[in-house]
């Protein structure tokens, strides 16, 4: 019997079971690409509008941070490569991470792996199956994205180059996830490690693109390699080779680790629990204990984001002071410092979306504890449902707010050192007035989990919709009432002559209303 005996039948069963989880990722990324080609001619019908688009994006580093370099916005394929390129590779990597960890390390946590191992199966069979599934999903994503984009009017070679970057990203992070699954002590730790690597790679790529650093610096991050393919602006397919080599090396390393680690354990061993409950003996301490690790990790990440984005403001200030940025500032009747503070406010909106992810993650932990049957024993005593939910809701609201203030404070301090015209107090104040918008998204997720967990996906959809409306809505010239659906659209600019704070009051009331729905629903519904 070889080390991979049983891969074929196990892969067939796994594809059948996990296909429903993989399909939405392929549909999402494909829609991102196809819709760009479809909407381009409608939104930008003539050369003048396309030149204006290129000039606007060329002076907006905040968009470069998220979407990467805009190489050619005069064609539909070039616009598609900019709009779907960086985001598509990010989501493809995320898909691969969840597939591999879910079908390798998570099975050991649930006990399913032990059941499978009792049959005729080699030592590497489960890991090989997870890696094979991640590979198949990445290839399927590339093929489906290419064919659908082609059907919607995309160029054959340009669309193939773009879709190939999705596949390459999925393959690279199949390898990253396979290694993380051997290092982490459980599936949650493995996911955290792999997603952290992805987040660092994405931020590094974004910083390099937004700062307009020398082109060789793009090779410092794996996601930057994929940008060097230059889809629809050269189609340099050879740039995919380093990504494929990295994927092979990481997968080989993961198999080497798998051959040496104990079943159910990782290279990072879990710590023993305390002999006594201590502060965790009450519901408030328990909620903090359950979320302490993620909170500390996220706060460190927010401090890092504030530092990175603060240093980014220096090169961006040069962009606004010279070249087309100076022309746009003069034509808008604003000074370069006004545009720079507008850039800082946009950065804070991006940080706010990340903070909302943090808050929703804490909310979803409430449901995870419930499905693990650890909530019902607590409520069987004298603990009231409202008290239990309050202990978690307070954390879900306060932790992202603290992250926002930390990121804003660090960002302000760093920006002030390079751009004295920007006040650190103003940046911190702008971060503070952005917090209620974050609370709306957290409260939406809390309402879903508290009242009807079957629709808890609404919490994540709220973040996705806010992201799309905030960053892409103005680009597609959507109506104001549609843009107003995003809570971030109601955050005032504190440096404006007469900042409008009425919208801030409304979104705060909406957050309160969602929270009230959560508590009313949680009091009435059945708990698992």
Residues 222 and 317 grouped into a single domain: no
Domain span at 337: 282-524
- Assess if residue 76 is contained within a domain: yes
Residues 327 and 217 grouped into a single domain: no
Q: Three-class SS of residue 153?
A: coil
Q: How many angstroms separate the CA atoms of 434 and 499, rounded?
A: 13
- Assess if residue 275 is contained within a domain: no
- pTM (2 decimals)? 0.84
CB atoms within 10 A of CB 152: 18
Cα 141 to chain center, whole Å? 19
Look at the alpha carbons of 512, 515, 520, 523 in this order and tell me if their dihedral is positive or negative: negative
Q: How many angstroms separate the CA atoms of 371 and 379, rounded?
A: 14
Checking if the pLDDT of 253 tops 90, the result is yes
pLDDT at 327: 46
- The mean per-residue pLDDT over the stretch 95-122 comes to 86
Residues 90 and 169 grouped into a single domain: yes
Residues 28 and 122 grouped into a single domain: yes
Q: Which of 224, 259, 294 is the last residue of a domain?
A: 259
- Assess if residue 277 is contained within a domain: no
Residues 314 and 241 grouped into a single domain: no
87, two tokens: 């985001």
Whole-number average pLDDT of the chain: 87
CA separation (Å) from 393 to 213, 296, 330, 386? 42, 18, 46, 10
pLDDT band at 387 (very low <50, low <70, confident <90, very high): very high
Residues 470 and 400 grouped into a single domain: yes
pLDDT band at 65 (very low <50, low <70, confident <90, very high): confident
Checking if the pLDDT of 333 tops 70, the result is no
CB 367 within 8 A of CB 452: no
CB-based contacts of 8, cutoff 8 Å, min separation 6: none
pLDDT at 320: 59
- Assess if residue 341 is contained within a domain: yes
CA separation (Å) from 299 to 222, 296, 302, 513? 25, 5, 5, 28
pLDDT at 496: 80
Checking if the pLDDT of 332 tops 60, the result is no
Q: Which of 259, 293, 321 is the last residue of a domain?
A: 259
pLDDT band at 195 (very low <50, low <70, confident <90, very high): very high
Q: How many angstroms separate the CA atoms of 8 and 178, rounded?
A: 19
Residues 440 and 514 grouped into a single domain: yes
CB 441 within 8 A of CB 515: no
- Assess if residue 264 is contained within a domain: no
Average the pLDDT over each of 25-29, 144-148, 379-383 and give the range with the smallest value: 379-383
- Assess if residue 340 is contained within a domain: yes
Q: Which of 295, 313, 509 is nearest to 408 (CA)?
A: 313
pLDDT at 336: 60
- The mean per-residue pLDDT over the stretch 243-264 comes to 92
Checking if the pLDDT of 222 tops 80, the result is yes
Residues 62 and 176 grouped into a single domain: yes
Residues 302 and 212 grouped into a single domain: no
Checking if the pLDDT of 314 tops 80, the result is no
Average the pLDDT over each of 23-32, 281-290, 338-347 and give the range with the smallest value: 338-347
**From its phi and psi, is residue 514 left (phi > 0), alpha (psi between -120 and 50) or beta?**
alpha
- Assess if residue 245 is contained within a domain: yes
191-205 core/surface letters (b: 16 or more CB in 10 A; e: else) = bbbbbebbbebbbbb
pLDDT at 495: 83
Residue % of the chain over a pLDDT of 70: 94
- The mean per-residue pLDDT over the stretch 461-481 comes to 85
Residues 192 and 309 grouped into a single domain: no
Residues 325 and 192 grouped into a single domain: no
CB-based contacts of 124, cutoff 8 Å, min separation 6: 3, 4, 255, 258, 259
- Assess if residue 464 is contained within a domain: yes
CB-based contacts of 335, cutoff 8 Å, min separation 6: 329
How many separate domains does the chain show?
Answer: 2
Residues 442 and 402 grouped into a single domain: yes
Highest mean pLDDT among 103-107, 170-174, 255-259, 457-461: 170-174
Checking if the pLDDT of 286 tops 80, the result is yes
Q: How do residues 419-463 score in pLDDT, each as one tens digit? A: 788 889 999 999 999 999 999 999 999 999 999 999 988 999 999
């Amino acid at each position: 019997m070889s080390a991979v005996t049983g891969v074929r039948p196990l892969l067939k069963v796994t594809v059948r079971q996990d296909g429903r989880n993989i399909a939405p990722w392929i549909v999402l990324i494909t829609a991102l690409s196809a819709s760009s080609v479809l909407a381009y001619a409608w939104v930008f019908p003539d050369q003048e509008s396309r030149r204006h688009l290129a000039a606007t994006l060329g002076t907006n580093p905040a968009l470069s941070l998220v979407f990467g370099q805009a190489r050619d916005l005069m064609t539909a394929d070039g616009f598609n490569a900019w709009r779907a390129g960086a985001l598509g590779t990010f989501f493809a990597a995320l898909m691969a991470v969840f597939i591999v960890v879910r079908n390798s390390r998570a099975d050991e946590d649930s006990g399913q792996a032990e059941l499978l191992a009792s049959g005729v199966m080699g030592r590497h069979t489960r890991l090989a199956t997870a890696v094979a599934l991640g590979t198949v999903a990445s290839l399927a994503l590339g093929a489906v994205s290419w064919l659908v984009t082609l059907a919607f009017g995309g160029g054959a070679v340009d669309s193939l180059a773009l879709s190939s970057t999705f596949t390459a990203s999925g393959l690279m992070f199949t390898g990253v996830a396979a290694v993380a699954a051997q290092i982490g002590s459980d599936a949650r730790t493995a996911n955290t490690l792999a997603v952290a690597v992805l987040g660092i790679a994405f931020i590094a790529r974004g910083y390099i693109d937004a700062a307009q650093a020398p082109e060789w610096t793009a090779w410092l991050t794996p996601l930057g390699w994929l940008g060097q393919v230059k889809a629809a602006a050269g189609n340099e397919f050879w740039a995919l080779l380093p990504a494929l080599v990295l994927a092979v090396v990481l997968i080989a390393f993961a198999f080497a680790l798998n051959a040496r680690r104990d079943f159910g354990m990782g290279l990072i061993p879990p710590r023993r629990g305390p002999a006594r409950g201590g502060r965790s003996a009450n519901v408030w301490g328990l909620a903090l204990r359950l979320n302490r690790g993620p909170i500390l990790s996220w706060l460190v990440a927010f401090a890092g984001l504030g530092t990175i984005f603060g240093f980014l403001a220096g090169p961006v200030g040069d962009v606004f002071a010279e070249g087309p940025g100076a022309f746009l500032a003069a034509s808008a009747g604003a000074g370069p410092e006004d545009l720079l503070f507008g850039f800082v406010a946009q950065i804070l909106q991006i940080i706010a979306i990340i903070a909302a992810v943090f808050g929703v993650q804490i909310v979803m932990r409430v449901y995870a504890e419930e499905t693990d049957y650890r909530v019902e024993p607590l409520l069987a005593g004298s603990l009231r449902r409202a008290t239990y939910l309050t202990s978690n809701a307070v954390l879900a609201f306060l932790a992202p707010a603290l992250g926002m203030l930390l990121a804003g404070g660090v960002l302000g301090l760093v920006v002030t050192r390079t751009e004295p015209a920007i006040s650190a107090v103003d940046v911190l104040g702008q971060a503070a007035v952005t917090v209620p918008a974050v609370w709306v998204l957290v409260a939406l997720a809390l309402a879903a989990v508290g009242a009807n967990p079957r629709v808890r996906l609404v919490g994540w959809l709220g973040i996705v919709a806010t992201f799309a409306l905030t960053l892409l809505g103005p680009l597609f010239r959507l109506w104001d009432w549609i843009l107003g659906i995003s809570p971030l659209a109601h955050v005032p600019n504190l440096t404006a002559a007469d900042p409008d704070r009425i919208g801030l009051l409304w979104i705060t009331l909406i957050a309160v209303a969602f929270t009230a729905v959560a508590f009313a629903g949680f009091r009435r519904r059945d708990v698992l």
